[in-house]
Structure 1
């Protein structure tokens, strides 16, 4: 499919670009996108740290007092939760969230996310080179473009340093290199902005 190039302020750029239908022209499937997003979010979760319970504490199990006549409760184990150094009662247990997902499904999910954006909320620009490397100038350009509250900008091998610095404090504007493109971030933004270099990198990523 052919897409006309745009500028950062939303105006029409010079020329157009041919997008590979095998990457940007698929029919999105909600079940595939759901599986990939769930896999991403599960793998972002940290491992829950476990507390030591009675069976994990190294303390004597010998009865340390008389059964009767001591004026205290009839304790028979120093590992009981009521003692200092004893095991934790009902403590947190180790949980791991290392969900696995087939590479082909992950690749298909990314293609479908790109294809979903290509249906109406994808913008392709020539590059992220800006004359005035200032937050105010970039904010004015993006406001004029009116791409929505959340904009994801993906560049090529590395993000343009000037643009990254100027847009760092803009709320709702996120910048990634092509290698960092992922389904969750693409879907949660209103508009996806790709540079020409990003398109080349993404297409090469699947063709390679």
Structure 2
């Protein structure tokens, strides 16, 4: 698959060849779903917590005598049966992460890239570089190119000026090649790859 390379100023460069093993597959929704669920589970905080009967602030004194009252026998007011008592088997802090084979994660990334390629929403640029970290200048270039919700994937490192300028633009994300992931690729309308980003992704996924 060949794509024309453009510059941030709208100029044209030489075409680049994209590997069909990575950008030309038939996407599978089930694999993409598994990888996105794995990502979301890892990101979940898991800080939910309730108080058990040993942590509530009522007195531990027996509320009334055991026999002779005609009522059910009870100990203290911390029991789960009472209002504001402790919660029985409630949520506790834990990790929601689960395992997913590396082969599936790698395949999911290939399918995400192939899905964008099939939709014609991959753009290859010569380089993501700016002489100065000026948000206004970058925003003007992106507007001219028609990018409103875009993910920019660079090579091993992202140029600091470009990253700082893009950080203040809503709908624009910038990642190095090792940060490329299924969820970020799918949630943006346009996937922008630098030439260095294409080389790094192909080296990573082959």
- TM tier relative to shorter chain: 0.7 to 0.9
Corresponding residue of 2:7: 7
> Is the partner of 2:4 in helix, strand or coil?
strand
Structure 1 residue 27, shift from structure 2 partner: 1.1
Native 8 Å contact 2:54 2:86 kept in 1: no
Native 8 Å contact 1:23 1:115 kept in 2: yes
Query: In 1, distance between residues paired with 2:190 and 2:87?
Result: 50
Q: How many residues align?
A: 202
Native 8 Å contact 1:51 1:91 kept in 2: no
Corresponding residue of 1:202: 201
Moved more, 113-122 or 128-137: 128-137
- Which ranges in structure 1 are unaligned for 5 or more consecutive residues? none
Corresponding residue of 2:18: 19
Structure 1 residue 38, shift from structure 2 partner: 1.5
TM-score by structure 1 length?
Answer: 0.83
Structure 1 residue 97, shift from structure 2 partner: 1.5
Report matched runs for 1:98-113 at 5 Å.
98-113=97-112
Corresponding residue of 1:116: 115
Change (3 A) 1:184 1:80: same
Structure 1 residue 48, shift from structure 2 partner: 3.8
Moved more, 60-69 or 129-138: 60-69
Corresponding residue of 1:151: 150
